Amino acid sequence: MRPRFKAVFFFFPAAAVLTALQAPAHAGAWLQEKGHGLLILSTTMLSGDKVFDAAGHPFDIPRYNRFDTSAWLEYGLTDGLTLVLRPQFRSVSLGKPYNLHYSGLGYTGLGARIGLWSSGGTVLSLQSMLRIPGEPLVGSAQFETETRLLYGHSYKLGTWPAFIDTQFAYRFRAGIAPDEVRSDVTFGVRPRPDLMMMAQAFSTFSFGGFYASGWEYKVQLSAVWDFAKDWSVQVGGSATVAGVNALQERGYFAAIWKRF
């Protein structure tokens, strides 16, 4: 293991939060109608045995595994204001020679999204979140705040309904964890009325704090099948394809959607 990363993996709980997979796709920039909402229950399994160094080259580390279970809840308090809640449980482990394992409540996010502008199939909104820390051994012990600007546009790709959702966020992280700038892009298309295919890209840039600055680029592919009225199931995979001072992760996830 390269010397500069020995300390990072000695303090394993800190290493476990160097990267974080985004939640499965949700309503994005669009708001929920008053009195209506969306609940997504998801399970994610990620693993990796490499880290991107300061030059962006991967090198071997003890195997890392992460298991997340989370809920994403949106509720339209008014037509122009959507409340958001996201609790999370996380289990992380690091293989030999460390043989470390921790599990517990991860961050709980509380926030709201307000509409700024809309016209036809285009919407611009602003979301603010407070992230409340859970078990310090599976995440930072400090509160975090995030402000996110969201843009969504729906259109026709030939005869198929499609949309693009772009989001830009700044996450302020107290304590030794570095602040982050995030950019998320989602492209979705419905080749059938009951099936939606999505391709997503997540970019995270971290700077300041105790750790070295870095960045990561993740891609995610998934399918959402509407198997009953107001019910859907989502399955997909995710991979970190490039980065600096970041874990190289790969994994899968599954989720159940309920609209109400």
Please report the domains of the chain, with CATH numbers, ordered by start residue: 3-259 (2.40.128.130)
CA 204, CA 245: separation in Å to the nearest integer? 12
- What pLDDT does residue 218 have? 97
Which of these, 71, 82, 75, lies nearest to 106 by C-alpha position? 71
Confidence band, pLDDT 50/70/90 cuts, at residue 137 = low
CA separation for the pair 37, 124 (Å, rounded): 19
Tell me the C-alpha to C-alpha distance, in Å, between residue 75 and each of 49, 61, 163, 221, 234: 39, 42, 21, 26, 20
Which candidate, 133, 201, 121, places its Cα nearest to that of 168?
A: 201
Q: Which of 20, 45, 207 is nearest to 106 (CA)?
A: 20
> What does pTM read for this prediction?
0.88
Q: What is the mean pLDDT of the chain?
A: 89
Q: Rounded to 5, what percent of the chain is helix, strand, coil?
A: 5, 70, 25
pLDDT digits (tens, 9 = 90+) for 87-129: 999 999 989 888 889 899 999 999 999 999 999 999 999 999 9
pLDDT at site 3: 42
pLDDT score of 236: 98
Nearest alpha-carbon partner for 201 in 233, 170, 241, 169: 241
DSSP string over 69-136: EEEEEEEEEETTEEEEEE-EEEEEEE-TTT-EEEEEE--EEEEEEEEEEEETTEEEEEEEEEEE---G
- Residue 99 neighbours by CB under 8 Å, 6+ apart: none
- 211 pLDDT band (50/70/90 cuts)? low
Q: What is the CA radius of gyration of the chain?
A: 18
Q: Average pLDDT of 13-26?
A: 42
